[in-house]
Structure 1
Amino acid sequence: MFGDLFSAITDGILVRVRTEFHQKHSHNGNFVFTYYITITNTSNQTVQLMRRHWHIYDSKGTHQEVEGEGVIGQQPILKSGQSHKYVSGCHLKSDMGKMSGTYLMKRIDDETLFEVKIPDFSLIDPVRFN
């Protein structure tokens, strides 16, 4: 079951996130979530995604920080109007949490670096809504 759609735009870069909980893979205090991300360049400049920086929280108060190059092994270049989609996931120690973060982007023309906000999004087992 898919969760809500979350979105944010920074300097012409639109980031959309949709989440999914995986009941059949969640057991023994391990809760599995997938997130689907679409990054769309609505600016008039070509940009490249260089790095990601995530903050991951669960309802037990656990905080994880993940930082690294690109996304799923890629550093996509997006011309004006282009999008990049990818799927990733995380494991929580509770059935409810949230993620937030930033992408470090580079404008190809002048090599200027800038941060793009990834919208805060919830990770919730749909059973919580019953």
Structure 2
Amino acid sequence: MLSLLLKWATNGPLDRILTSLDKSIDNETERQKVAGDVIAKYIATEAETRAAAMQSRVFWCVWALFAAPVGFWLGAICLDSVFLFSGHITDLPPSVKPYATQIIAAVFGSGAGVAGIQSIAAAIRGRR
């Protein structure tokens, strides 16, 4: 009698409860997959848009308008600190400092990234 009661409980209500929980988890997983696909497509679209924008001369001219003065300023600071010219070069204004920091990080970050990738590629080629 007890085994019949346990069999009825596990086959009937418990089975339906566990099945509905499985379906709920599967639905949540599908929602996360869809969200992940949307985010991946958005990132790919943004990368394509940026790559297309970087093909334009206007992009590089505007970028140079900001990067050249920051480069001259950074070079002057480096020369002043190495050769002690006592030029009393002041820091950039607080309104410009975040942009200058971002430009310097982009220039040196991209250069360091490319150099790192090239060294890794050279090491891999040397092994083969």
The TM-score range, normalised by the shorter chain, is under 0.3
Compare CA radii of gyration and give the structure with the larger one: 2
Structure with more of its chain in strand, by fraction = 1
* Greater RCO (CA < 8 Å, at least 6 residues apart): 1
TM-score after normalising by structure 2: 0.17
Structure with the bigger percentage of helix: 2
